[in-house]
Amino acid sequence: MTDDAKIREYLRRKRLELGLTQAEVAERVGYSKTAYCNLETGSTEILNKIFVKLPEALGVSIEELLLGFEPDDPGKNIVEDVRSEYGQKMRMMRDGFQGELSRLNEEIRHLKEQIHDKEETISAQKVHIKDLQKQLKAKK
């Protein structure tokens, strides 16, 4: 089950546990019943702007919403740990992409040099062919 699917299932379970209807939760987060229903069933992606309202609407912490349970150590900020880890991975990916981009740009520069060299060789060969054709005509 994907993280989104786990969150959706938890939303549904928590809503039912609290005895709330989809319309009531939708009203608490400022969504239409249809929009909230689509969110809970997976027809719509969970958006950041609604995600931050859901814990308050359901009376749970963000950690509980993400994990499906309240962590043993409420002082530990799991969301910040996840955000930090995500940020670190994003920086690593960005640095990797930048390195790859630099490598590819260098490769392009090198290939352009090779093309230029080949064009010069072709041009010299054409001149040589013309000279040979002139010599051949002169011998006839």
Q: What is the pLDDT of residue 82?
A: 74
Q: What is the pLDDT of residues 53-83, one digit of tens each?
A: 788 888 888 777 777 777 666 556 666 777 7
Q: What is the pLDDT of residues 103-127, one digit of tens each?
A: 999 999 999 999 999 999 999 999 9
Q: What is the pLDDT of residue 39?
A: 82
Q: What is the pLDDT of residue 108?
A: 95
Q: Which of 13-27, 83-97, 116-130 has the lowest mean pLDDT?
A: 83-97
Q: Which residue reads 């859901």 in tokens?
A: 54
Contacts of 26 (CB under 8 A, 6+ apart): 32, 33, 35, 36, 37
> Taking the domains of the chain in order of start, what are their residue ranges?
3-72, 77-140
Q: What is the pLDDT of residue 2?
A: 55
Q: Is the pLDDT of residue 3 over 70?
A: no
Q: What is the pLDDT of residue 117?
A: 95
Q: Is the pTM of this model over 0.95?
A: no
Q: Is the pLDDT of residue 51 over 80?
A: no
Sign of CA dihedral 93, 3, 58, 21: positive
Q: How many CB atoms lie within 10 A of CB 40?
A: 19
Q: What is the CATH number of domain 3-72?
A: 1.10.260.40
Q: What is the pLDDT of residue 74?
A: 57
